[in-house]
Structure 1
Amino acid sequence: MREINQKLLLTERGQQWVGQFDDEDVEAASQLVWALTLVSHSSFQRDLSRRILDTATKVGAPVAFFSAREIEDICDFAKKLNAAEGPSEVDGVNPGHDLGSEARVAATIRSLCKTNPSQLLNHPNKAEMVASQCDAIIVVDDLIGSGKRVCSYLDALWDNRSLRSWKSRSDIRFIILAYAVTEAGLDRVSKHKCAPEVIYGRICPTLRTVPWFESKKDLVSGICKKYGARVAAKSFILGFRRSSALLIFEHGCPNNVPAILWSDPAKNKQWVPLFPSKAVLPPETSAFPLEIVRRDPLDLLIDAGQTRLAGTLPANLSLSQETLLILAFAEKGIRTPGALSFATGLTESECATHLKSCMNWGLLTQRLRLTSSGSAELRAAQRSERVKVIAPLGNDGYYPQMLRKTT
């Protein structure tokens, strides 16, 4: 992953960006870029499309799809949504504006709905939802960062008396579907008054959730603040509402990401953003891999303070690298889905599967703390000097070959 993200800094713009930092801050600036999760067009499109279709199939009835966006004219939106007859005029994007991430989401919805228009409704009005006997409203977004955009869109839908009535009678349900979410955004959206179900692919890493020493987090946050004095978007120094997201889409950089990566310079200041006006320019797109690439486990273990284990990992095959990373982070008190997803490159559901396996094998408690057996396996891995071959993680026939007593 570091080698891939390094390509960002090797482009002409990347060299200009990193060249703006004082010598003592270059390493921290590079760490910020190395920590970014880069999501290509193909990876985003494939994952989001699959989740949209899977969710519609599970509902098993007609569903209404809406792309999350900021609604500037709430009265106009309400009027179009509440139309009791005629084809829908509800917009998927804000008319007359530079189109952001909502345009790509809206285009994905439109394309998929064309394949089965009787079951998949593209931004329908009330008349179309009634005629189709719609069972679910699904609001789609690429990233739920702070949760503000999705919640404001839900507010606009919830303001409709008919939708509230249908929900109270359990005639319809609300679903939020996103490619990625931050833990804070997930918490906020889940508490919305319409009680939505939230479906997502991965937890978005943030400066608060990456499995680093606190000193390293403070160092990287510090350069965001120090050089944030040079950018125009000063209220976004650590991203919108200080969400400090570390995920970049090839179709654009979210404003949840620290401003030194995307903001224009402040008045009378000089600053060259890596992603100008949140756009990813062609030279930088070359750094985006077709798939999410897992990070180097050795670097991650060292960053988490597991230097001893990092020294034995290449020769240690008694447990998979994913299992060892999970156990090593659990010992250091790092148990959040965001940290584990960042470390392993796995989706939320894949991380959950590994965690369940660790609990089933008696390596972790239900609270994701090391058991005596898990501690013994981790100590044995730290002492390992020879290769041991056993079944890979996920094989039903696998069970830790020794449940050692702690010494």
Structure 2
Amino acid sequence: MAQFAAVDRADAASLIDAMLLLNEEQVATSIRSALDRIAEHPRHRKRRVALYAEREFDSAMIFEIKLVPDLRGRLRRRAVGYNGPPAVKPVRGRARVGSEGFVSHLISQSAERWTKIFMNHPGPDRLRGKTAPAGEIVIVTDFLGSGTRVSTMLDKFWAVPTVRSWVSRGMMRFRVVAAAATSSALGKVRRHRLQPQVEAEWIAPTVTSTADYMTMLAWKRLIDKNGPQEGRGTGRYGFGEEGALIAFNYRLPNNTPAMVHHGGSNGWQPLYVGSAPAELRSLFGVRSLDQAVLSAADANGVEFGEELTEEDRQAILVLSMLRGRWHRGAEVALASRTSLPVPTVLDILTRVLRAELITRSGRLTDKGYKFMESGRAGERKTPIIATSSLPYYPESLRIL
């Protein structure tokens, strides 16, 4: 905080407090759980799943292409190779590997656990195997910040004629699994021509996704005024101008504001470089769900009444943020604003719907209004009206 002017420190503190903090354990658990759900699905008992870590590629295509004669002797472009692209390989001219090594390790663990389901970075020859062909390709990452890198990776799959043929015949589908993502990245990747299914447990808030307009303006002034003008190949708001408010205990994504992740020639110091220093590690401890709810309530100005159960607090928080507007995908916005995982938000919404506190369109019912009034503190305070201490007796009644 010493780097900020005194007048900026309150805004800087509120921005740092709003960041979603995730540690390796949370990321690993999220990815493993998602892969376990895929493996347990009945669809994959006959068709296997190919897992690939998200990373950058120099080549135009994921797989090697050769001209191979078909049954009539005509030469056809065909993807070949038993092994696919390596999971970890820095792009030429860069020393950083990023989080690919960590994600690759998680993929290896899941492939060893589900040997009859998952294939670890297979090549085309394994994908088209006669006894156990693949029916789905899954790209795995810890964070979707802008969605650009995974979209580029999907483009390189699409560029392979063999893959296009599989997709057009309905033999192959795509999926992207991320521990965390921004809502804009989710939308961008889902709109890709391969139409992958995209899932993320945690939704990272951004500078512009805060519910408080004045807070957003204060954060923008802070970012425009402080830190380097550019980050790791990015502008002040991070790669893709996302302004993502997220930090992992093992890295700071370049989608975060430059003042968070990058040092400058003017001596500016980032939050940290590489792994979080010892003095910050306690901040990345796994919080209980109730602690997360209380923190989200405090950040969003929701006051709980006394003697509420943990489930009641969860319901009141989500109902307060829902604001009578429900549509498919609204759980992503709620997860972003509350910093609760998406599955937890969906569980809470399912519970309040079953309790008839909201309609299917997300509007509060009469029962929901009564529940909110009884559960929130300070909602209906009786105003104190100043009066004279002397009694007043009217001598006549006025006709209105």
Same fold (TM over 0.5): yes
Residue 352 of structure 1 deviates from its aligned partner by: 1.2
Is residue 2:73 matched to residue 1:84? no
Larger CA deviation: 278-287 vs 222-231? 278-287
Cα distance, 1:144–1:286 mapped onto 2, change above 3 Å: same
Which position in structure 2 is the counterpart of 1:114? 112
Is residue 2:181 matched to residue 1:181? yes
Offset from partner CA, 1:191-218 (integer Å, 9 cap, x none)? 11111111222222222334x4211122
Cα distance, 1:339–1:83 mapped onto 2, change above 3 Å: closer
Offset from partner CA, 1:198-243 (integer Å, 9 cap, x none)? 1222222222334x42111221232122114565558432222122
Cα distance, 1:125–1:80 mapped onto 2, change above 3 Å: farther
Which position in structure 2 is the counterpart of 1:287? 283
Offset from partner CA, 1:281-338 (integer Å, 9 cap, x none)? 44433431135766565664465455xxx1x523445971011112222349799434
- Equivalenced residue count is 358
In the alignment, residue 79 of structure 1 is paired with which amino acid? E
Residue 383 of structure 1 deviates from its aligned partner by: 6.3
In the alignment, residue 136 of structure 2 is paired with which amino acid? A
Which position in structure 1 is the counterpart of 2:340? 346
Q: Indicate which of 100, 103, 114 corresponds to 1:102.
A: 100
Which position in structure 2 is the counterpart of 1:372? 366
Is residue 2:50 matched to residue 1:64? yes
Residue 150 of structure 1 deviates from its aligned partner by: 0.9
In the alignment, residue 215 of structure 2 is paired with which amino acid? K
Which position in structure 1 is the counterpart of 2:263? 264
In the alignment, residue 285 of structure 1 is paired with which amino acid? R
What's the secondary structure of 2:134's corresponding residue? coil
Which position in structure 2 is the counterpart of 1:123? 121
Which position in structure 1 is the counterpart of 2:69? none
Is residue 2:146 matched to residue 1:146? yes
Superposition RMSD in Å: 2.9
Offset from partner CA, 1:99-136 (integer Å, 9 cap, x none)? 10122111211233234445321111110111131111
Which consecutive residues of structure 1, in runs of 5 or more, have no partner in the other structure? 1-17, 386-407
Larger CA deviation: 104-113 vs 89-98? 89-98
What's the secondary structure of 1:337's corresponding residue? helix
What's the secondary structure of 1:255's corresponding residue? coil
Which position in structure 1 is the counterpart of 2:23? 40
Contact 1:144 1:178 (8 Å CA) reproduced: yes
CA–CA distance in structure 2, aligned partners of residues 318 and 148 of structure 1 = 39
In the alignment, residue 90 of structure 1 is paired with which amino acid? P
Cα distance, 1:353–1:295 mapped onto 2, change above 3 Å: same
Residue 158 of structure 1 deviates from its aligned partner by: 1.1
CA–CA distance in structure 1, aligned partners of residues 206 and 290 of structure 2 = 16
Cα distance, 1:301–1:120 mapped onto 2, change above 3 Å: closer
Cα distance, 1:298–1:252 mapped onto 2, change above 3 Å: closer
Which position in structure 2 is the counterpart of 1:250? 249
CA–CA distance in structure 1, aligned partners of residues 216 and 150 of structure 2 = 28
Q: Which has the larger radius of gyration?
A: 2
Equivalence map 1:379-398=2 (5 Å): 379-382=373-376
CA–CA distance in structure 2, aligned partners of residues 327 and 290 of structure 1 = 25
Residue 79 of structure 1 deviates from its aligned partner by: 1.5
What's the secondary structure of 1:38's corresponding residue? strand
What's the secondary structure of 1:73's corresponding residue? coil
Which consecutive residues of structure 2, in runs of 5 or more, have no partner in the other structure? 67-77, 380-400
In the alignment, residue 313 of structure 1 is paired with which amino acid? G
Which position in structure 2 is the counterpart of 1:20? 3
CA–CA distance in structure 2, aligned partners of residues 284 and 383 of structure 1 = 33
Which position in structure 2 is the counterpart of 1:164? 164
CA–CA distance in structure 2, aligned partners of residues 305 and 119 of structure 1 = 46
Residue 272 of structure 1 deviates from its aligned partner by: 0.8
Larger CA deviation: 26-35 vs 297-306? 297-306
TM-score by length of 2: 0.80
Offset from partner CA, 1:169-199 (integer Å, 9 cap, x none)? 1111111111112111111111111111112
Cα distance, 1:195–1:382 mapped onto 2, change above 3 Å: closer
In the alignment, residue 24 of structure 1 is paired with which amino acid? V
CA–CA distance in structure 2, aligned partners of residues 21 and 138 of structure 1 = 43
Which position in structure 2 is the counterpart of 1:403? none
Give the percent of matched residue pairs that are identical in Structure 1 and Structure 2: 24
Q: Indicate which of 313, 324, 329 corresponds to 2:316.
A: 324
TM-score by length of 1: 0.79
CA–CA distance in structure 1, aligned partners of residues 235 and 177 of structure 2 = 25
